[in-house]
């Protein structure tokens, strides 16, 4: 998965997609997030559980443990080793959902520049991506050590032509189970290893090269250029 995504709806839209009855502790605000071209280190709306409540905070995309002073802050964690790798050990129990509208990948198709692609749900609903991270708790605002990873898995089907990794996206029911602190660690590992959404749930298309400049923002960046293609490789 490349390090660029969109999160432009309001937190209430993302919570509605999660279909979670818990009361919301909203530290994000009610306005649309409006991140059309979010890059690593961006502050993004992250959902996690705090007791019986669902909590939303703006948290940095990327995290590293305090002892890894010479390492850059990774933004993604491979599902194959996230449950057992020493780098992630301390935060594996700290599960979260990063709800996004789409993500981007770049593909070399000849010419001087790679072609950017946008990947989204076929039905345009938010994508509920499994994440882990160090999250704010209590009355504390996000601090310098807070941050999160997006968990990624191997791509399959036509999506592998765009990129060999993608976020682990979960159905609302599985996202709720993933967030539940009572879910055993072994069950959480099985959810992200085996029960992510299939390629058929997504579609993808070319977008303008302007997405390559992180300073560019706005809805024009997510407009399709050319054919929209889905997991079955049939144009629509």
DSSP per-residue codes, 126-194: PEEEEEEEE---TTPPP-TT-EEEEEEEE--GGGGGT-SEEE-B--HHHHHHHH-TTS-HHHHHHHHHH
For the segment 44-54, what is each residue's pLDDT rounded down to a tens digit? 999 999 999 99
Residue showing tokens 């959404």:
197
pLDDT in tens, 9-67: 999 999 999 999 889 999 999 999 999 999 999 999 999 999 999 999 999 999 876 66
Category of 58 on φ-ψ map: left (φ > 0), alpha (ψ -120 to 50) or beta: beta
Could you give all domains of the chain from N- to C-terminal order, each with its CATH number?
5-230 (3.90.1680.10)
Write the pLDDT tens digit of every residue in 87-114. Answer: 777 788 899 999 999 999 998 887 788 8
Active site residue 105: yes
**Active site includes 2?**
yes
Burial 69-88 (b: 16+ CB within 10 A, else e): eeeeebbbbebeebbeeebb
Q: Which two tokens stand for residue 79?
A: 């599902």
With a cut of 60, say whether residue 233 has pLDDT above it.
no
Q: What pLDDT shows up at residue 182?
A: 94
Q: Which of 34, 50, 52, 105 is catalytic?
A: 105
pLDDT band, very low/low/confident/very high, at 234 (cuts 50, 70, 90): very low
Q: In 8-66, which ranges are E strands? A: 24-26, 35-38, 43-50, 53-60
């Amino acid at each position: 998965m490349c390090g660029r995504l969109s999160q432009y709806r309001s937190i209430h839209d993302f919570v509605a997609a999660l279909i979670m009855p818990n009361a919301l502790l909203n530290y994000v605000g009610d306005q649309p997030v409006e991140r059309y071209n979010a890059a690593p280190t961006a502050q993004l709306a992250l959902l996690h559980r705090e007791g019986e409540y669902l909590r939303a905070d703006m948290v940095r995309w990327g995290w590293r443990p305090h002892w890894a002073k010479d390492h850059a802050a990774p933004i993604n964690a491979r599902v194959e080793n996230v449950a057992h790798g020493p780098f992630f050990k301390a935060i594996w129990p700290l599960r979260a959902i990063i709800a996004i509208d789409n993500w981007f990948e770049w593909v070399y198709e000849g010419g001087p520049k790679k072609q950017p692609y946008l990947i989204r749900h076929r039905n345009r609903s938010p994508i509920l991506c499994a994440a882990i991270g160090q999250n704010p708790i209590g009355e504390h605002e996000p601090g310098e050590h807070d941050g999160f990873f997006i968990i990624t898995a191997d791509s399959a089907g036509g999506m592998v032509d765009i990129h060999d990794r993608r976020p682990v996206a979960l159905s609302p029911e599985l996202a709720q189970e993933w967030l539940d602190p009572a879910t055993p660690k072994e069950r959480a590992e099985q959810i992200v290893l085996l029960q992510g959404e299939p390629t058929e749930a997504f579609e993808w298309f070319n977008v303008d090269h302007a997405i390559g400049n992180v300073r560019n923002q706005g809805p024009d960046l997510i407009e399709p250029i050319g054919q929209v293609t889905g997991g079955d490789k049939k144009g629509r």
